[in-house]
Amino acid sequence: MQRTVLVLNSGSSSVKYSLVQPESGVSVANGIIERIGDDHSLARLEFGGLKVERERSVADHEAALRLTFDLFAEVGGHLGTLGLVAVGHRVVHGGRDLYQPTLIDDAFVAKIDALSALAPLHNPPAVLGIEVARRILPDVPHVAVFDTAFFHDLPEMAATYAIDREVAQRWQIRRYGFHGTSHEYVSQQAAKFLDVPLSQLNQIVLHLGNGASASAIAGGRPVDTSMGMTPMEGLVMGTRSGDIDPGLVFYLARTAKIPVEEIESMLNRRSGVRGLAGVNDFRELHKAIDAGSSDARLAYEVYIHRLRKYIGAYLAVLGDTHAITFTAGVGENDAHVRRDALTGLAPLGVEIDEHLNDSPARSARVISAENSPTKVLVIPTDEELAIARACAAVVDPGDADGE
Ligand code: ADP
């Protein structure tokens, strides 16, 4: 039987999961429990062509995971019979010291928990997910994989904020970068796709999902990335502001007397495309633009303008850029965004082919003009597979990585 890894991504009110075969790369099952703590929580599971959906009250993360395992059993697959060799937990923030995929024991949970001060929105739900999953599946090894890991060795000049050095050191303030699993996976796939050794490739990866980040990668090593100490910095996102003048936070706190938690929540949940246009899904944004909404048009223009600024910056950081790759929900599906992000960059060596860009294909593909010095690619990300492979390598180092 093929080995499987259960990959869990625990948020404050949702748990996403995937059951993945690390060797073959097949996703056996996946699903989500949303609105945990609500009377109308929604649990979904897709397994072997079957889709199950349940709406009911799910009080907490423990109830959510138990319901998930019940759903598995219902569609004919008790987890114990599915070759489960590990549970992989996506952990957003590893701080300065945690970056290797690591077998979780009590002491390691405490280390992740200790980073909650640095990542108050993200690490507490991950810790909760780990604790619950370890309770429910005590006989399977649990492994933590960090979203910051790939950027651990970001060059100091890119990782350092120009602020008081002592304060920064004392409070562990630096640019950590996030979406690392995706940037690493997609950059490796780009090298394979182009049949060029990773070590010889300078590339820009644009992970444009609901969260969004850009990275500049030289020879497989990141040299800059747009997210910083938290996942708020950088590109305009579905609900996050991306770059802002920090002065506006002081102004809102001091003059508008808005509590700091409220400001944080606004910048994370009610900003970005949603803050400007009232929707954060790009399919809805385009509909609103087509219906004549000037707010939606402005949101789109602000989003594209910021994206172009980062692309320009990273072309300069890298010098000779061989590839620009779009990935994640928006990057993989939205031909308008890809076109508008790169239009007019032929003098910088980047030219897309409109026809290729408009193709609805789902697989990895080139969308640049044949004579474009910089290749432009669309590559589907697969963070779950990358996490599953990292976990499989930890639990059985001799038998990892199907590629
Ligand atoms: P996350 O993992 O951050 O939740 P995803 O990578 O799944 O995000 O991306 C989700 C986003 O992708 C949606 O909010 C939507 O804006 C965008 N998206 C998904 N499908 C399409 C599509 N067909 N066209 C345009 N945008 C899409």
| pLDDT on residue 238 | 96
User: What are the tens digits of pLDDT across the range 177-213?
Assistant: 999 999 999 999 999 999 999 999 999 999 999 999 9
Q: How far is CA 259 from CA 65, 230, 239, 249, 253, in A?
A: 34, 19, 19, 10, 6
Note whether residue 158 is domain-resident.
no
Note whether residue 155 is domain-resident.
no
Mapped onto helix, strand or coil, the DSSP state of residue 322 is coil
Q: 125 and 271 share a domain? A: no
CA distance 296 to 285: 6
Note whether residue 249 is domain-resident.
yes
Q: 216 and 301 share a domain? A: yes
Q: 207 and 129 share a domain? A: no
Quick one: which atom of ligand 1 is closest to the CA of 208?
Answer: 6
Give the end of a domain, one of 116, 146, 176. 146
How many C-beta atoms lie closer than 10 Å to residue 21's C-beta? 20
Q: 209 and 317 share a domain? A: yes
Q: 221 and 367 share a domain? A: yes
Rg (CA), the chain: 21
Section 114-129 average pLDDT: 90
Q: Is 147 a catalytic residue?
A: yes
Q: 294 and 234 share a domain? A: yes
CB 230 within 8 A of CB 211: no
Q: 252 and 122 share a domain? A: no
Given a cut of 90, whether residue 401 has pLDDT beyond it is no
Q: Name the residue with the closest Cα to ligand 1, atom 3.
A: 210
Q: Spell out which residues line ligand 1, taking CB within 6 angstroms.
A: 209-211, 238, 280-283, 328-330, 333-334
| pLDDT on residue 398 | 67
Binding residues for substrate: 90
Q: Name the residue with the closest Cα to ligand 1, atom 13.
A: 281
Average pLDDT, the chain: 94
Q: What is the CA(334)–ligand 1 centre distance, in A? A: 9
Note whether residue 189 is domain-resident.
no
Question: Which one of 147, 224, 334, 382 is the catalytic residue?
Answer: 147
| pLDDT on residue 399 | 58
Percent of the chain's residues with pLDDT above 90: 85
Note whether residue 403 is domain-resident.
no
Binding residues for Mg(2+): 9, 383
Q: How far is CA 364 from CA 52, 53, 101, in A?
A: 29, 31, 27
| pLDDT on residue 72 | 85
CA distance 64 to 56: 10
Q: 27 and 103 share a domain? A: yes
CA distance 280 to 14: 18
403 pLDDT band (50/70/90 cuts)? very low
Given a cut of 60, whether residue 86 has pLDDT beyond it is yes
| pLDDT on residue 4 | 95
CA distance 143 to 158: 29
Sheet containing 84-91: which strands, arranged edge to edge?
Answer: 50-56, 41-47, 27-34, 15-20, 4-10, 84-91, 142-146, 102-103
Given a cut of 90, whether residue 76 has pLDDT beyond it is no
Q: What is the extent of the structural domain holding 59?
A: 4-146
pTM: 0.95
341 pLDDT band (50/70/90 cuts)? very high
Note whether residue 138 is domain-resident.
yes
Q: 219 and 367 share a domain? A: yes
Structural domain total, the chain:
2
Q: What is the CA(209)–ligand 1 centre distance, in A? A: 5
User: What are the tens digits of pLDDT across the range 150-186?
Assistant: 999 999 999 999 999 999 999 999 999 999 999 999 9
CA distance 35 to 15: 9
Mapped onto helix, strand or coil, the DSSP state of residue 205 is strand
Q: What is the CA(250)–ligand 1 centre distance, in A? A: 32
Considering Cα of 104, then 107, then 111, then 112, what sign does the dihedral take?
A: positive
DSSP 77-100: --GGGTTEEEEEEEES--TTT--S
Ligand 1 pocket, mutate which of 179, 281, 337 (most atoms under 8 A from CB):
281
Note whether residue 28 is domain-resident.
yes
Binding residues: 9, 16, 90, 207-211, 281-283, 329-333, 383
Q: 226 and 374 share a domain? A: yes
Q: Which of 341, 94, 53 is nearest to 214 (CA)?
A: 341
* CATH code of 86's domain: 3.30.420.40
Note whether residue 395 is domain-resident.
no
Given a cut of 60, whether residue 337 has pLDDT beyond it is yes
User: What are the tens digits of pLDDT across the range 31-72?
Assistant: 999 999 888 899 999 998 889 999 989 999 889 988 988 888
Q: 140 and 202 share a domain? A: no
User: What are the tens digits of pLDDT across the range 258-291?
Assistant: 999 999 999 999 999 999 999 999 999 999 999 9
402 pLDDT band (50/70/90 cuts)? very low
Q: 220 and 341 share a domain? A: yes
How many C-beta atoms lie closer than 10 Å to residue 166's C-beta? 8
